[in-house]
Structure 1
Amino acid sequence: AEYPLLVRALANIVLCHVPGEGVWFTTMEQGHFLVEGTGSELARAFVDQLLPVATARLVIDNDFRPDLEPDLWDGDEITAEIRQAGQRLDKLGLLPNPFPIEDVLSERDLRHVKRLYGIGGLSYGNLSQRKDETRFWMSASGVDKSKLDQPGRDILLVSDYDAENGRIVLSVPPGVEPRRVSVDAIEHWMIYQENPDAGAILHVHAWVEGIDSTQLVFPCGSEQLASAVADLVRKDADPARAIVGLRNHGITAVGESLTEILDRIEPKVLRQVPMSG
């Protein structure tokens, strides 16, 4: 019931105070959890949860540069594997249907949301695979991950990160109207930069038992969430094959390739993400 309110309010979090129980948080990622307590105890716990979210720095702007090599305009073997991995995720039931935002907002409000947030739609999960030492291909934002058909539009080459301006740099072919890359590109960038042996990264809204997870619910696309996830990967016994949790949200898995990651997680992945306060 709270998620439609969040969308209508153009907010990234909705808070519901239940006297004698605490405050329920609902996030854009459809995560929800209860901060329990009363009086000053609840106030302190509430601020501890809200402040990191309110002060997070988002890295969701893109710098599109039409400098993609001509021999990559139609993609390569990596984009083909990303496309196949997206189709496999769909068959495994790991691509939940996007929230039916058209049922909540009027056509006018929907145009406003898309313009305000620079999105083409809502979708969940993302996947990437390393191209070379510094670059990686990654799924676009707001696309059906089972239909990643056009490189340069549905799958984008991340070539750099402009830290000063908080922008992900994308190499795109000329004459193609690209979509934005997934908001989690900054997270993937950090992991690839720190782990030369990491060949691919998969993020899905599912869970694996027994994994370490982030402790605070930072917004997707924020430097803080990216740093928290990269830190967990760094601390893993085998960072190049790590599976870490994003609290109340999902998992990020690192591996040799997307095929290798899916082969490894398929037997143990849980489609329901546990929620905790």
Structure 2
Amino acid sequence: MAQTLDDLPPRAALAEIARDFHARGWMAGTAGNLSARADDGHFWITASGMPKGRLDELDFLLVRVKDGEVVERVRPENKPSAETAIHRAIYALFPAARACLHGHVVTAAIAADRAKKGAKSLRLPAIEMIKGFDIWQQNPKVDLPLFENHLDVAKIARDIDARFKKTKPAVTALMVRAHGPTIWGASLQQAYNRFEILEYLLRYQAQARAR
């Protein structure tokens, strides 16, 4: 039995994450997308329109980071996720990133809705769990980058690229309004852990404000 997600082949690990996220309500229906970097400048990403609770290892395509070209697909009918451009941007910006996970989390969407119009970030609560992002300061002031949603996903990717080329984020995560969080990590397990941590932080924040 695998001890961590990194003990599994990448596509098997991504399928396991998809089932887990679906069960938690973070990837309802066909929403969300997951990827893992492969060797030689490529990454595996979920096929578009697939129910995330039923993915298997054949439901992924191999995409080139440089230009977004599909270099391998097991099922001829499979098309890459609409958000492939965002994953490409993350892998190009952060060479150490080995996995990138995007889901639709209710608490995250509500947190973004509460942000002021035009806000560029969300302040995360300075609680113990923030250490999961390797932040060790006492009472840190940590902002989650916030991006506007666009029907043209490539525009979101360009916005991410432009901002992060100027200023690297404090956490390996970002949020798109009315959409959902995207988290990346140096391994599949780290990305998975950090997705859980971000959801916890935003859920804590929502419940603290409701008291």
Q: TM-score, normalised by structure 2?
A: 0.66
In angstroms, what is the RMSD of aligned CA positions? Answer: 2.5
Identity of aligned residues (%): 27
Q: Is there any run of 5+ residues in structure 2 with no aligned partner, and where?
A: 1-7, 112-121, 124-143, 207-211
Task: Say if 2:91 is the partner of 1:192.
Answer: yes
Q: 1:230 to 1:203 in 2, by over 3 A?
A: farther
Q: Which has the larger radius of gyration?
A: 1
Q: Is there any run of 5+ residues in structure 1 with no aligned partner, and where?
A: 1-75, 98-122, 163-167
Structure showing the higher helix proportion among its residues: 2
> What are the superposed Cα offsets for residues 42-88 of structure 1, whole Å, 9 maximum, x if unpaired?
xxxxxxxxxxxxxxxxxxxxxxxxxxxxxxxxxx8111111111111
Is the CA contact (8 Å cut-off) linking 1:85 and 1:259 kept in structure 2?
no
Is the CA contact (8 Å cut-off) linking 1:233 and 1:242 kept in structure 2?
no
- 2:160 alignment partner, one of 216, 223, 229: 229
Q: 1:230 to 1:242 in 2, by over 3 A?
A: farther
What's 2:176 paired with?
246
What's 2:76 paired with?
177
Measured in 2, the distance between the counterparts of 1:212 and 1:194 equals 15
What's 1:124 paired with?
31
Task: Give SS of 1:172's match.
Answer: strand
Measured in 2, the distance between the counterparts of 1:244 and 1:233 equals 11
Measured in 1, the distance between the counterparts of 2:198 and 2:65 equals 34
Measured in 1, the distance between the counterparts of 2:73 and 2:27 equals 28
> What are the superposed Cα offsets for residues 212-253 of structure 1, whole Å, 9 maximum, x if unpaired?
201x3312532x210222345553345xx5111112211111
What's 1:91 paired with?
23
Measured in 1, the distance between the counterparts of 2:46 and 2:97 equals 17
**Displacement of 1:96:** 1.9
Measured in 2, the distance between the counterparts of 1:219 and 1:172 equals 27
Task: Give SS of 2:157's match.
Answer: helix
> What are the superposed Cα offsets for residues 154-195 of structure 1, whole Å, 9 maximum, x if unpaired?
111002554xxxxx3112257x42311001111111211121
Q: How many residues align?
A: 160
Q: TM-score, normalised by structure 1?
A: 0.51
